[in-house]
Amino acid sequence: MKAKSMWLKLALVLFAAVFVLNAAPLKAETVITLWSHWADHDSKRNFVEGAARAFEGANPGVKVKVTWYEKKALYAALKTALRAGQAPDIFYGETNQIEYLENNMLYDLSKGLNWNNIESWAKEGWTYKGGVYGFPLEAWTVELYYNTKMLAELGFKLPADSQFNQSDFLEVVKKTRAAGITPLALGVGDRPYPGAFLVHEALLKNLDTADYDKLLKGQLDWSDTRVREALEFVKAVIDAKALPSSFSTLKLGESHFYFHTKPGALMFLMGSFYPSRAFNPTDKGGQPPDFNLGIMQYPALDKGACNNCKTITIGGSYVVNAASKHPDTAIKFLNSLATPEMGNKWLETVLVQTGIKADPSKITGPYASYFQDLAAADAPCKFYPNLPLGAMQGKTKETFIQVVNQAFPAGLLSVDQVIDKMNAVR
């Protein structure tokens, strides 16, 4: 009996081995790797991680592995990984990283991504030589915020189209300063771009998008009459002491607090990422709960070719590695983000605009009215999809930062000096 039992066990083992050897191999798990900035941005991390888990649930056998970095560390890691052929399937990128495009490192998304759910200006911002190379998750406009209660107390009423003309805007600035209040909170203590908001919005409105683009790319002379007119308007605003005396040292975070809390300013020219700081609790630098926040349009120029023009810039985006072994699955993941529902979720939770088409009328929560006001302010606008620093290169970019972002708004240069210095590096 023992012998029979032993042979039976052996037969069963052999049968099992033959079955395993002849069985179809199990399908291996597909792993999509994603390297991203925003290691210290909880709301953005939660959004992306939540999307990754939802995608995995809807696609059995697929894993999305996200690795978070600070921006500087991310760029260093990507530089090494791309050269070694070990870069992730998807990674964080920005439109000014032209080296990715020039070296064919990115997968063309023009035919795979669901562009019907992406804003046209966002697609344009990632277009390069006929291809489209980035998914524009984050975006922001340049907005002119103001204290609605303070404006009324100063005796002014915002026009129906929310846009003062040149002379009326200057009158607002002068009367505000005469009342001992800073007209416009702005500072460049730790950033290379906020001071230029005051200048480039005037240039854009006077030139329209096509000629403004030529100006930024060195194809239009800064002595052009329309450029001079815009600069002269800005110089009048500067000379009326619109900006804080601490403009040159005032940091970005400090300028937010300066506007809504102490000492308080009438207006604040800032990116629409304003809520990411302002909607924090007051003990973390947020605006007071009863603060009367409004949005007006940058003033219309007397000879403006496009007074409804406004700058919008694409921020953090996701690109697909041209060497990815799973580009279709990577694009499928990006398409899971490219829906109006996800666009609304980004607005509600991250409090920053997006290149995904959203529906602010369906946003709920404590900040729903803000996003509806922002959508109304931007509805009539024609957008130029880049900051000057994203369109400029080399010496031109460096000079722009020193001249247009810093020295000119600080009142240290004349209009002629700005023109001469910018023409010298065209």
Q: What is the pLDDT along the chain (426 residues), one digit of tens a residue?
A: 445 555 545 444 444 444 444 544 445 689 999 999 999 899 999 999 999 999 999 999 999 999 999 999 999 999 999 999 999 999 999 998 989 999 999 999 999 999 999 999 999 999 999 999 999 999 999 999 999 999 999 999 999 999 999 999 999 999 999 999 999 999 999 999 999 999 999 999 999 999 999 999 999 999 999 999 999 999 999 999 999 999 999 999 999 999 999 999 999 999 999 998 899 999 989 999 999 999 999 999 999 999 999 999 999 999 999 999 999 999 999 999 999 999 999 999 999 999 999 998 888 888 999 999 999 999 999 999 999 998 998 999 999 999 999 999 999 999 999 999 999 998
Let me know whether 300 and 340 are in one domain. no
Cα 143 from Cα 273, distance rounded (Å): 10
The secondary element (H helix, E strand) that includes residue 251 is none
Let me know whether 48 and 196 are in one domain. no
Let me know whether 193 and 76 are in one domain. no
Let me know whether 259 and 352 are in one domain. no
On whether residue 129 sits in a domain, the answer given is: yes
pLDDT for the residue 139: 95
To the nearest 5 percent, what fractions of the chain are helix, strand and coil? 45, 15, 35
Let me know whether 330 and 306 are in one domain. no
One-letter-per-residue 3-state SS of 87-135: CCCEEEECCCCHHHHHCCCECCCCCCCCHHHECHHHHHHCEECCEECCE
How do residues 213-231 score in pLDDT, each as one tens digit?
A: 999 999 999 999 999 999 9
In 362-412, alpha helices (H): 368-378, 388-391, 394-400
Let me know whether 82 and 92 are in one domain. yes
Cα 13 from Cα 19, distance rounded (Å): 10
On whether residue 241 sits in a domain, the answer given is: yes
On whether residue 20 sits in a domain, the answer given is: no
Let me know whether 307 and 345 are in one domain. no
Report the domain count for the chain: 2
Let me know whether 74 and 221 are in one domain. no
How do residues 5-43 score in pLDDT, each as one tens digit?
A: 555 454 444 444 444 445 444 456 899 999 999 998 999
On whether residue 108 sits in a domain, the answer given is: yes
Let me know whether 298 and 151 are in one domain. yes
Let me know whether 155 and 49 are in one domain. no
How do residues 353-376 score in pLDDT, each as one tens digit?
A: 999 999 988 888 889 999 999 999
On whether residue 43 sits in a domain, the answer given is: yes
On whether residue 233 sits in a domain, the answer given is: yes
Cα 91 from Cα 140, distance rounded (Å): 20
On whether residue 346 sits in a domain, the answer given is: yes
Contact 234, 403 (CB under 8 A): no
Instruction: Indicate the pTM of the whole model.
Output: 0.86
pLDDT for the residue 25: 47
Let me know whether 158 and 211 are in one domain. yes
Q: What is the CATH number of the domain that holds 205?
A: 3.40.190.10
Let me know whether 393 and 259 are in one domain. yes
On whether residue 4 sits in a domain, the answer given is: no
pLDDT for the residue 408: 98
The position carrying tokens 């409004």 is 294
Q: What is the domain range of residue 290? A: 140-312+384-423
Residue type, 42: D
pLDDT for the residue 328: 97
pLDDT for the residue 364: 85
